[in-house]
Chains A and B, each alone.
Chain A
Amino acid sequence: MSVITASGLTKAYGNNVVLNDISFSLPEGKIIGLFGPNGCGKTTLMKILSGLIHDYSGEVLVNGNKPGEKTKAITAYLPEQTFVHDWMRNIDAVDYFNDFYSDFDKNKALEMLKRFGLSEKQKSKTMSKGMQEKLLLSLVMSREASLYILDEPMGGVDPATRGAILDFIMQNYSQKSTLLISTHLINDLESVFNHALFIGKGSVLINDSVENITAGGKSIEDVFKEVFSNVW
């Protein structure tokens, strides 16, 4: 069964067409890598799925529904940038999620904060980018969501911590859920993906299982280089 379906999806910023009439469906219960070069529309696609971009044409369905109130209740989205209010302390952010998401596990979130060495009383605006990313990850991964959308989850984290964060994601996501992760750090994450979606120049270039993609003995990163050296 498909958790995400897009048909004829087109999104342009002025004259710049980022997604050009693309259609695809993504399977449920998989860890899906979303790959593509900078500016190819990965973040735009994730924002559309999360209900943050509305002026697109075509149809997008998440669990059979258009992005909106219903899909937001089952989707946990981690954007590329930090998003908590400046006035919030870490505990306020945890309480905020606890108030609005019925699938949020407050104890799990507090445990995660402790594990990351983040104080409950610390204000988000006084934290470094890496610390803020850890906070957001703790919040998002403490939900029992059907779909996790993670946009560059390790973008601002030092290489030493990446492995720990990856373990953290793998341990904390609900096993029945689908994970859609966009990343440029293909090497670090390659082992966890079981499906991949490659987009570039507004089109879907590959949408297949990792097993099929790497059948010829190539790694995902090799395939990425091969595909995008021709496209760009």
Chain B
Amino acid sequence: MLNNRRKVINKTLNQILFILALMLCWELLARTGWFPPLLFPRLSDVLRTLITDIRSGEIVGRLYFSLYLIAQGLALAVVTAAVAAVLALCSPIVSDWVQAVMAILHPLPGISVLPIIILWLGTGPRSIVAVIWFSSVWPLIANLHTGLRSVPATQIEVGQNLGLKGVRLIGKVLIPSAFPYILTGLRVAWARAWQASVAAEMVFGASGGEGGLGWFIYKKRFFMEIASVFGGMFVIIVVGLIVERLCFEWVEARTVRRWGMTLE
């Protein structure tokens, strides 16, 4: 156990050192002056503008707005996926339907439906929420569906013998048993929602007052503030890492790992 932990720390240290070395290379390469700073700004300039953008509150407001839209889109997607998966569990006919719809729509990138969504819902936060929903709902349904169906019949029967029925059977037996799948589904859905929100705003350029990080990058691009464009990308990376490393791993450590059922 201790040995294992040391291994993990070593690995993390190794990775951090590598990233730091890459960052140093970036700074040195930019300082050689081989590339115009308009195309390739120094890392120090990027960090400096990032701090300015954070201090001015601009990037924080944009980040908050992005997360707010993602929360809405993801929440809707989770509800949709749960309803679809439970219905599919109850009836084999619905299960076939869900699988058919999934097979048709899953390969479609969320961003490709944007033109239609703009026509139907206009150019506002609603459209972005819709794209986020569309991007994240299919991986969620796929994982929930597989997860619920992979619960061994014996476990369900044991639950039933203990007198569990309906919602309690789902809550006590089905969800814990399918949890590794649910977690995977949420992870993929989060990643796709994050990508979709940034992509959608960069394609149609959300309105100025209510834009997230995608709009931030889009606007900085047109004002040629390349260092700020990199800064926006950094924020996206950092938030992605935080959610992945802190939130999901925290949940994983307290659930599936503790229950001894990791998929790895």
Say if A and B assemble together.
no
